[in-house]
Amino acid sequence: MDKLITRWVAGDAAAGEELYQRYYDRVREFIIKRGATLVDAEDIAQEALIAGLEGLKAGRKPDRLTLWLLGIARHISYHRPRAGSDRELDRVVDPRRRSAKSMAIRREMDALLQRALERMTPNDRQIVDLHYRAGLTRKEIAEKLDLPIEAIHARCDRTRSRLREALSRHFSTVALRRLEPAGVALENILSLRPAFRQVVIARHLQNLGERDAALQLQLPEATFRARLRSAYEILKCEPTADFSKAREEYLAQKE
pLDDT in the model for residue 156 = 81
Please determine whether the domains at 88-171 and 186-254 fall in the same fold group of CATH: yes
pLDDT in the model for residue 110 = 61
Domain boundaries, the chain: 2-78, 88-171, 186-254
Question: What is residue 184's three-state secondary structure?
Answer: coil
Residue 210 backbone class (left: φ over 0; alpha: ψ -120 to 50; beta: rest): alpha
The conformation of residue 12, written as its DSSP 8-state character, comes to -
Topology of the domain comprising 186-254: Arc Repressor Mutant, subunit A (1.10.10)
pLDDT in the model for residue 70 = 92
Amino acid found at 102: S
Of residues 196, 168, 189, the one with CA closest to residue 244: 189
Cα-based distances in Å from 18 to 15, 29, 89, 102: 5, 18, 39, 46
pLDDT in the model for residue 94 = 42
Q: Which residues of 36-54 are buried (b: 16+ CB within 10 A; e: fewer)?
A: bebebbbbbbbbbbbbbbb
Segments of the chain scoring below 70 in pLDDT? 1, 79-113, 132, 164-182, 255
| CA atoms of 26 and 32, how far apart (whole Å) | 10
pLDDT in the model for residue 90 = 38
Which residues, 6+ apart, have CB-to-CB distance to 196 below 8 Å? 227, 230, 231, 234
List the CATH code of the domain at 2-78: 1.10.1740.10
pLDDT in the model for residue 101 = 43
pTM for this predicted structure: 0.40
User: What are the beta bridge partners of residue 242?
Assistant: 183
Q: What is the helix (H) or strand (E) element at residue 78, kind and residue range? A: helix 65-78
List the CATH code of the domain at 88-171: 1.10.10.10
pLDDT in the model for residue 242 = 87
